[in-house]
Chain A
């Protein structure tokens, strides 16, 4: 996803001289081409994320469209007050880009796992929060941010789901993308972990259970309309995120459905429950450890439908 992001910026930078990319001294070998081609639109701010975010606000207030770029929690939690006060309060045109969403940097350890970012960033007024599931969404989300005015957060995952494109499909920030139709149960995922939802949906389909799979690439604003339809048209909703369940995707869905007065047949939030991801390993391995892999999703859905069937009979 990181490469998709950089490719799009490199593609559009010449047409958008106001665009600037700031990095917190990360992106070795990845940003070189961009930096060489657009030296006036690139700045390595050093390992100083608070200053990078304040700089971004200052540049944006002078008319630039600024992307700040770093790993995990560095461009977000480390400089949260700068994001809140300097960027959001001023409506500054700054796009905060986290590479390594969720447990992408699995073996590196918890410091590099971004597992509370969605909840925290979406609580900020005026913040657009994007969390793409595949390379196409990552590229299109980036493209949309170049022309979007105001603060935004883009969470990029190392993994990417193998979603089949539909002909003529266009990326709509603020909407939910239905990547598979089904009416037995809804699997609503955000980020690359949607690949686990697709695998679970495949396995469930073999048992005659058909899942509607939603890519919630925009956490804020949340597409309540599509969620309400899912609640009404399918047996229940399972939210899946490589993130704490508190206030992230699951929390956001619960809020929006409660306010809409629509209650799904059942609702399960799959994510980290009051725990740090202290185990290390590949992203795939960690999803197993924290019960977020396809098998866990499969088990969760089977158990819920089993209970529901008993109640019905």
Chain B
């Protein structure tokens, strides 16, 4: 639990969604649905489940967080701004000429440990950080948020093998399992089921939760490590585009940019005015 200020995670989730909608619309950025999908996970983590402090963003005792699904960068930027890592006004520069807020997450921003964007990289880096933490008997954890699509990448499973072989109990993978990837559903592209069984067979302790239920996410995170000597995988069942009715469970909004009437309607829904 964070020693820094706690934020109400439901309020934070709402703010992440609204910021992300404004950022992707104004900047002409993609991936709004992928951000809405994991907004609740980010809100629970940055609402207080992980130990990070905007006053000491590089503190060696902080928990590490890697957004392996780097295309949801807008969501992480919003969470960090709301947690005081940088000014909320800076979010308006997202996707703009010369901005530090690239579409895929950038470590130029305070509070971002690792730049990502190419899928299947984050869990390996996280495993390296977790291994280093264990070598020096540090107590912090390493959290890594993955998309389901990046579980197509062989490198994700290389890292999964490594983490269980080396019993990295300080490593937590959270998979945003919304079942829609770039241009089609997971079921159509490369079926991941039985998904939990895959992680279990790779030696991980697995908890399957509703990825929009903050209490369930919180409880799962508080239970880490779920089993002695095993890394933890939290499979978070989510709805892609969560919070905007016409974006939910639609392949279209992985890339479509919310503008005009669509933007107005989406904003009204996210702000609870519709």
Interface residues, chain A, with chain B CB atoms under 8 Å away = 40, 43, 45-46, 48, 50-51, 53-64, 81-82, 85-86, 89-90
- Sorting the interface of chain B by its residue count into under 10, 10 to 19, 20 to 34 or 35 or more gives 20 to 34
Q: Does B128 contact A (CB under 8 A)?
A: yes
Q: Mark B104-145, 1 if CB is under 8 A from A, else 0.
A: 000100000111111011011111111111010000000000
**Do B126 and A58 have beta carbons less than 8 Å apart?**
yes
**Do A85 and B127 have beta carbons less than 8 Å apart?**
no
**Do B125 and A54 have beta carbons less than 8 Å apart?**
yes
Bound together, the chains give a CA A55 to CA B142 distance in angstroms of 13
**Distance in Å from the Cβ of A24 to the closest Cβ of chain B?**
11
- 10 example contacts (A-B, Cβ-Cβ < 8 A) are as follows A48-B155, A48-B161, A51-B162, A54-B123, A58-B126, A59-B128, A81-B121, A82-B155, A85-B116, A90-B115
Bound together, the chains give a CA A54 to CA B159 distance in angstroms of 9
Q: Does B158 contact A (CB under 8 A)?
A: yes
Q: Which of B121, B130, B132, B154 contacts A86 (CB 8 A)?
A: B121
Question: Which residues on the B side are within 8 Å of A82 (C-beta)?
Answer: 121, 124, 155
Nearest chain A residue, comparing its CB with the CB of B159? A51
**Do A85 and B159 have beta carbons less than 8 Å apart?**
no
- Secondary structure class of chain B's binding surface, majority of residues: helix
**Do B161 and A85 have beta carbons less than 8 Å apart?**
no
Bound together, the chains give a CA A53 to CA B162 distance in angstroms of 13
Bound together, the chains give a CA A285 to CA B161 distance in angstroms of 41
Q: Which of A46, A48, A58, A85 contacts B128 (CB 8 A)?
A: A58
**Do A85 and B118 have beta carbons less than 8 Å apart?**
yes
**Distance in Å from the Cβ of A108 to the closest Cβ of chain B?**
24
**Distance in Å from the Cβ of B69 to the closest Cβ of chain A?**
14
**Do B162 and A58 have beta carbons less than 8 Å apart?**
no
Bound together, the chains give a CA A277 to CA B235 distance in angstroms of 47
**Do B129 and A48 have beta carbons less than 8 Å apart?**
no
| Besides A57-B125, A86-B125, 15 new A-B residue pairs in contact (Cβ under 8 A), listed by A number | A48-B158, A51-B159, A51-B162, A54-B123, A54-B124, A54-B127, A54-B155, A55-B159, A58-B125, A58-B128, A58-B132, A82-B155, A85-B115, A85-B118, A86-B114
